[in-house]
Amino acid sequence: MKSKLFSRIGFCTDFSENADEAFAVALEMAATFGAAMEIIHITANLMHSPPVHTTYMPVEYDPEFAEELSRAAMKSIEEKYVSRLPEGMHHNVNVVSGYAATEILRLAGEKQLDLLVMGSHGLTGLAHVLFGSTAERIVRKAGCSVLTVRHKSSRTSPLVSAATP
């Protein structure tokens, strides 16, 4: 009998290598706990983006373009993730337009997720100050547990870094 510690697991993707590693973890956890998986991708809402687009993008906002982005994301999710789910695993795909942290938190509440699994880019220093971290915002505000997965190349062993001159 499978444990129900986690019955609904959310996997968040931005299609990065970090997200791919997070998917492997989410998939294994969902299989281990017999959980359903909610695959989540947030596209930028071009209609409500900062005014940068009016200055640097000389084209007018086209709602068809936003739809095309959503369709492309859905196709990528099907090819990259859904195709790797075991037969019979319950799952839903959520492609939503908006601010990533806000929409992920909203979906986590609506879908009553027990766990969110997402990649973390591991920004530090000035980059972290300037860009912040979606993962950090999620960890601080989520009503469920959050597991962040770092890319293998960004993991360092304290012993190795301490021994390096």
Could you read off the pLDDT of 66-82 as tens digits, one per residue? 889 899 999 999 999 99
Residue 69 lies in a domain: yes
Average pLDDT over residues 125-132: 52
Residue 112 lies in a domain: yes
Q: What pLDDT, on a 0 to 100 scale, did the predictor assign at position 60?
A: 61
User: What CATH number does the domain containing 133 carry?
Assistant: 3.40.50.620
Per-residue CA distances from 33 to 2, 64, 74, 75 (Å) = 6, 40, 26, 27
Give the side-chain half-sphere CA count within 13 A for 70. 13
Other C-beta atoms closer than 10 Å to the C-beta of 75 total 10
Q: What pLDDT, on a 0 to 100 scale, did the predictor assign at position 58?
A: 47
Residue 2 lies in a domain: no
Q: Give me the number of domains the chain comprises.
A: 1
Q: What pLDDT, on a 0 to 100 scale, did the predictor assign at position 124?
A: 55
The model's pTM is 0.80
Residue 1 lies in a domain: no
Q: At what angle do helices 134-141 and 100-110 cross, to 10 degrees?
A: 40
Q: Where in the sequence is the domain holding 44, given as residue range(s)?
A: 8-163
Q: What pLDDT, on a 0 to 100 scale, did the predictor assign at position 118?
A: 94
Residue 148 lies in a domain: yes
